[in-house]
Copies of this chain bind each other. A is one copy, B any other.
């Protein structure tokens, strides 16, 4: 079995590094449940044979997976899958592998739960702690949302809006959440395929967040964010196809 080229969003085919492709292949198989936590993985030589690569390339893939908390390696023992609680779920790759093996509905439900947990607090912090240039970035992102024409522009400006808000909060420990938001939004937008009729409403909700942040009104920002998330939840449950996978 040889390993294919990398299929990215929009169907573009990019051939990443060999070790990156191997990493992805193994990572997806782990996330997909083929190897459960505690289970032993094939040894490096075997992987090399499996994917037609040298042990070097395999080892680099394994080092990355180890750094992401998915596995652990020891001499004579080999590599074992770590318990899920140690997986760096907020890592870009891990999270996207996670996404690819889940049904969309379940994915959106759990990400929304996490968003409801942190984003109101982030909005609050953002209102109270932002610097002028950070606010500027938020305003620019909002303008981009307002003038977005294509689906792609809507998604990217929406993501940028939330990233900017995250930056306003001025707490580095919260940065990794950007990944959740990014994946949630892009999944959401292609979940509700056709042009979203709620976009005007969403714009208004975003605007009220900007206003609250600009006014340094923490509670108002929190409420505005709650309203936005509630609306998003509605959109999700409204456009729910029963259990279409992927």
Residue of B nearest to A64 (CB): B67
Q: Does A113 contact B (CB under 8 A)?
A: yes
Q: What is the size category of the interface that chain A forms with chain B?
A: 35 or more
Complex interface: stretch among A45-53, A85-93, A143-151? A85-93
Q: Is the interface of A mostly helix, strand, loop or mixed?
A: helix
In order of increasing CB-CB distance, the 6 nearest A-B pairs are: A67-B67, A117-B121, A64-B67, A114-B173, A63-B63, A60-B63
B89 touches A91 (CB 8 A): no
Distance to closest chain B CB from A14 (angstroms): 14
A113 touches B89 (CB 8 A): no
Residues of B contacting A116 in the complex (Cβ-Cβ under 8 angstroms): 121
Q: Does A176 contact B (CB under 8 A)?
A: yes
Q: Does A81 contact B (CB under 8 A)?
A: no
B113 touches A125 (CB 8 A): yes
Residue of B nearest to A129 (CB): B113
Chain A 66-94 against B: per-residue CB contact (8 Å), 1 yes, 0 no? 11110000000000000011011111100
Cα(A117)–Cα(B178), bound, Å? 15
